[in-house]
Chains A and B, each alone.
Chain A
Amino acid sequence: MTVFPMSSPPPLAVPPIVNPHQAATVGAPRKAVALISGGLDSMLAARLILDQGIHVEGINFYTGFCVEGHTHAIRHHERAKPKRNNALWTAEQLGIKLHIIDVIEEYKDVVINPKHGYGANLNPCLDCKGFMVRKAREWMEQHGFDFIITGEVLGQRPMSQRRDTMPVVARESGAFDRLLRPLCARLLPETLPEREGWVDRHKLLEFNGRSRKPQMALAEKYGFQEYAQPAGGCCFLTNQQYSHKLADMWATRGSKQYEFDDIMLLKVGRHLRPRPHFKLIVARDDGENNFLDGYRKRFIHLHATSHEGPLALIDGTANDEDIELAARLTARFGKGREAETVILTVTDTAGNSRELKVAPMPANNIPPEWYL
């Protein structure tokens, strides 16, 4: 065994210990994972970072409440014009990969128990942002990426994009200073990618407030066209009518729970609650008819046979009197609405059918509060 005098350091038998993170990426570009919603802001944020020579890949979360895709596919008249997936479209414009992650199950807890409460409707935006950034942080760690970027703009949204709530997202997601918001970074404290010189803070922006003009000007500079501009928000939870239907569902069930099928059904058809113990879901067109048809076996369902008319599902329990009321309502939404009588077939959940002859309910006899 060789003994070295204390004054001189031992020769370096092994390479000095360096940050393994740095060692792995020497010469290779730094990598950022970008939250891509399909809207303009996240697209611009990703582009700014791409322009700084960073390798960017996108991540998009499917919660079940996203406005993207399905409802457009359900309604018949919108079928003619196929709906693109805006997140994929964005990724293609940017030339980056996009990973779409199914978070339907995990997201339930965000909607049911938001620590920071709801916004104007049942939108738990602050918890939702924290959740998504946390998922992105986990993905970043699993895939050896260096930081996370979002399209957030200071002051843009009342709940999740305030000066006091932005640090909450960084902290609760566990991303801390690896979370960079390129569109407003210069108004926020320096983050790790800026401090380490991976990105140049001077080339980041200071967008602030609710105006969309700076984003639109930047989009024009980049030549981005046909980008999506969702009104109100990226998900159905910001929609007042949708939230009303969800709240009604929770109130009737006596607990805040849901299954994926429940939240899909809330997007489809007219929903009327004529009695506390049941509601009626009536298709509005062929597309919705087909969609509801896939669910009919789980519900008492009815449709007119003497006239053309929609399929309707009874959600809840219904006695004969209730079924007759449901039949009169269903008749009201079909071609026989002006007829004296309409014949309908009613089928129970065991598959037994019977015929029912009823007078369609006149429109002005339906109290407006029945409509959810």
Chain B
Amino acid sequence: MTHFVLDARQLLCPLPVIRAQNRVAELSPGDTLEVQATDPGALHDIPAWCRVHGHEVLETRQEGHEVIVRLRVVA
């Protein structure tokens, strides 16, 4: 169970989702991933992607121009 960080800043949607998806594919169940993005669309798209794949969204927040989504990989 390891924590990872993915820098998807400056990328426009849907690229942050694609990067998150590809990163999650390399992780193991129980691992957590923090995705950092600047496209506000990521705040909705990454949780939506998690929902359709059954991964758990631990937190979403906005810090100034940055969007942070933390998720846990589910088997």
Contact = CB atoms under 8 A, between A and B. Distances in A.
Nearest to B52: A91
Contacts of A264: 12
A336 to B, nearest CB: 28
Given A82-B41, A100-B21, A101-B18, A69 B52 contact: no
B45 to A, nearest CB: 5
Contacts of A69: 12-14, 39, 41, 45
Given A74-B12, A92-B52, A85 B18 contact: no
15 contacts: A62-B18, A70-B12, A70-B41, A74-B12, A79-B40, A82-B44, A83-B41, A84-B48, A85-B41, A85-B48, A87-B14, A88-B49, A98-B52, A101-B18, A294-B10
Contacts of A87: 14
Interface of B: 10, 12-15, 17-18, 21, 39-41, 43-45, 48-49, 51-53
Contacts of B41: 69-70, 72-73, 82-83, 85
Given A84-B44, A85-B13, A73 B39 contact: yes
A68 interface: yes
Given A73-B13, A73-B41, A79-B40, 20 more contacts: A69-B14, A69-B39, A70-B12, A70-B39, A73-B12, A73-B40, A82-B41, A83-B41, A85-B17, A85-B48, A89-B48, A91-B52, A92-B48, A92-B52, A98-B49, A98-B52, A99-B21, A100-B18, A100-B21, A294-B10
A69 B45 CA distance: 10
Contacts of A73: 12-13, 39-41
A96 B48 CA distance: 12
A102 interface: yes
Nearest to A291: B12
Nearest to A267: B12
A212 interface: no
A97 interface: yes
Interface string A40-66: 000000000000000000000010001
A228 to B, nearest CB: 14
Interface string A155-195: 00000000000000000000000000000000000000000
B52 A88 contact: yes
Given A92-B52, A97-B53, A85 B12 contact: no
Contacts of B51: 92
A266 to B, nearest CB: 14
Contacts of A91: 52
B18 A102 contact: yes
B74 to A, nearest CB: 12
A62 B12 contact: no
Nearest to B21: A100
Interface in A90-127: 91-92, 96-102
B69 to A, nearest CB: 14
Interface in A276-296: 294
A87 B44 CA distance: 13
A9 B12 CA distance: 66
A85 B45 CA distance: 6
Contacts of A89: 48
Contacts of A84: 44-45, 48
Contacts of A294: 10
Residue of B12, B21, B51, B52 ringed by the most chain A CB atoms within 10 A: B52
B15 A62 contact: yes
Contact of B45 (A79, A88, A99): A88
Contacts of B17: 85, 88, 100
